[in-house]
Structure 1
Amino acid sequence: MADFALAVDVGGTKMAACLVSPDGTVTAHRTTPTPNGDTEQVWAALADLLKIVAGHERIVGVGVGSAGAPPPP
């Protein structure tokens, strides 16, 4: 089983994620609008996005880009 990394961008209008193989190939990617609601909605949408992109792959690293951090759920 290969080890993959997740790259995540959390922005004010959209969130994006991609799955990156050990050789640097993007094997899956997806974007979704960032909810305008409360923090719980943002975290839930992000969790759903990551589940879709990561699938059942083994994730060994995560990189996140964001203009700021929402409070934890």
Structure 2
Amino acid sequence: MGDQALWESVECDEVLAVLRELPPCQRQALALTFDGFTPAEIAQILDVPAVQVRGNLARARRAAVTALGKREGGEGQ
């Protein structure tokens, strides 16, 4: 999957730092995705609608890509 390929190229410390920057609902959804759960399964675990999980995942992915880009680009960006 896309998430897997993206995160395999990132150091564990960087992943944890990015996760810490996310709001709790986005952090939970993305962390559970890393553990192999589908949005439907995450929705059941968190007792929220699947559409909410998918929205949180989309926002978390955008924020993570932005954060990783800034880290790779250096402090000046």
TM-score by length of 1: 0.37
Structure with bigger helix share is 2
Q: Which has the higher contact order (CA 8 A, sep 6+)?
A: 1
Structure with bigger strand share is 1
